[in-house]
Structure 1
């Protein structure tokens, strides 16, 4: 049995690797189909930690990542086979192995590059895996189209790790309808599924079906339609790559706290210092949730008189603008499954922007969701948007607040300023120009300056107390000299920084 994982690093010597690459390239060239791009990714662990049920299938696992899931496989495998039998009878396939599985087996060498990780097993096993899961997907999309509902949970079908490559589905289409068959068994079903489940209006322009990677990709492009957008580079920052620059007063306060930890008699004073540090230096940047900085809907309305109105055109998430005190927003429909769909669309956008060699992926959807995270802080904000028909759907106001306050944004930015970022800048400019806001910000600035001065005085007083305590408890010892040197060094650093 031939291995279908051509990217296992060699364990010894260079020649096995050369032989492996020669064989892999020859095998892929023998398949008369262009190798599709990488488009099915493992969800990063930090996203799974936020909400694992949004990314891991709950009822049915598809493709090599989840087909053999220990919890799902025994419950759903017979249901899969039942669905396969329905398709076989509908299309009158006399031999599933020869007509479908064998076709898919021939293209496995160009299917594996669709995945960022692909398990190592034989081609025949994967041919049957994709045959079963592909026919199940066809069956369920057909049921959804006719009966407006699924026997299984549609959320599972839109999860990124659960996607079936379009190249596999097209081979199934050829097996069922013939090489030159005119019946399109996928595109219409994809469109209906996307229209029924997308939180956003779909583009009126048709998606280039020849470039669709899978069902989630079809929905994404139907929403964003990158074909008409201006492609912009995306730069990502690694977690922890932003230097943590602390104020000099905070460094001195930390030094005093460290010194207090060495002296048993100074523990009561240590608690006071730690409380002061927490109050003064715990900032918004330490939050795990980052979002576009923009006032909420109610703040913009009550303070700056900004009105929010439903946009009349059908440009979807691109249709956001601010004109003459009025912010125009597109409609978003939020139901029970919407958070799962939003999270997987955003994860797909970020991972494609980071990994695609073909370009064409920005962060437009991520920026839109980030903007909604910024303007929605409370149920009052949701109510105001719902009154303007900007938010629709069955999800309750409080649930919508939790949804947008729980989605973090990527550490990435597009080159150039997007239209949405320009709108945010205009909203902030109007809000910041209000006299009461200017007064409040000036007062906060003065309070921060005063807090630093108070911190300095507290730190100096704390240092003197600690020094005295050290002398009393360890007079003449090496500990005393070490502590005095430690505190003196920190005071010297601070003096040089404030001069």
Structure 2
């Protein structure tokens, strides 16, 4: 299946987030802010052994196999018209269904795992993205620029894949070692600071001593006494 995706949250203008005319200004009527899916990027997942594989089918084939460490994603074809098409699909889905916004959730997933052109490149090399745009950077910009869903939504099989891959990533030995080292360094910064101050004061004391008493002459005298 070829899927033909709105703007980064930091690129959105204030007027883009204003309620439409006729809507109330109360908090209850405001659209909830949907945060980016918390999931590592493609390159980060690859660094801990996750393999990305194209699935034969649509969005419903998305899954993470925690035994083989394979993350299955549907094939998507991107061209110059893809951004408009995907924006329209997200809007159409939101206006015609009261159930889960499946396509919107898919775009949020792709937004979450593609942070840089390197992430886009890895998915292109795995034949998950068929890129007819100018570069991998354009693919990253496209997905990172997708607007969030107009309302909070949950899609069980997509959310299950996200949960499973996060559990694996967080438990990966490489990540645990990095976090332990990070916690040790940040937890010990006060002790390391005290040691550095003591060492600096000691060196300053030696410098002051040698500025009054000629250290080379003292060491030469000590050396002569020892040899004699």
1:310 aligns with 2:54: yes
**Per-residue deviation, residues 175-198 of structure 1 (Å, max 9, x unmatched):** xxxxxxxxxxxxxxxxxxxxxxxx
Say whether the 8 Å CA contact 1:290–1:408 is kept in structure 2. Answer: no
Could you tell me which runs of 5 or more consecutive residues in structure 2 were left unpaired when the two chains were aligned.
1-8, 14-19, 22-27, 190-228
Higher relative contact order (CA 8 A, sep 6+): 2
CA distance in 1 between counterparts of 2:136 and 2:112 reads 16
Corresponding residue for 2:104? 366
1:399 aligns with 2:142: no
Corresponding residue for 1:379? 117
**Per-residue deviation at 1:437?**
1.2
Change (3 A) 1:300 1:350: same
Change (3 A) 1:405 1:449: farther
**Per-residue deviation at 1:390?**
0.7
Secondary structure class of the residue paired with 1:413: coil
Corresponding residue for 2:61? 319
CA distance in 2 between counterparts of 1:348 and 1:445 reads 46
**Per-residue deviation at 1:327?**
0.9
- Root-mean-square deviation over aligned CA pairs: 3.2
Match of 1:292 among 27, 37, 45: 37
Match of 1:413 among 152, 166, 178: 152
CA distance in 2 between counterparts of 1:409 and 1:437 reads 29
**Per-residue deviation at 1:362?**
1.7
Could you tell me which runs of 5 or more consecutive residues in structure 1 were left unpaired when the two chains were aligned.
1-46, 52-115, 118-235, 243-288, 354-358, 452-499
Residues 44-443 of structure 1 mapped to structure 2, 5 A cutoff = 50=12, 238-239=30-31, 290-302=35-47, 304-311=48-55, 313-314=56-57, 316-323=58-65, 324-353=68-97, 359=98, 361-395=99-133, 396-410=135-149, 412-414=151-153, 418-442=156-180
Say whether the 8 Å CA contact 2:90–2:103 is kept in structure 1. Answer: yes
**Per-residue deviation at 1:409?**
1.3
Corresponding residue for 2:195? none
Secondary structure class of the residue paired with 1:382: helix
TM-score after normalising by structure 2: 0.62
Aligned length: 165
TM-score after normalising by structure 1: 0.30
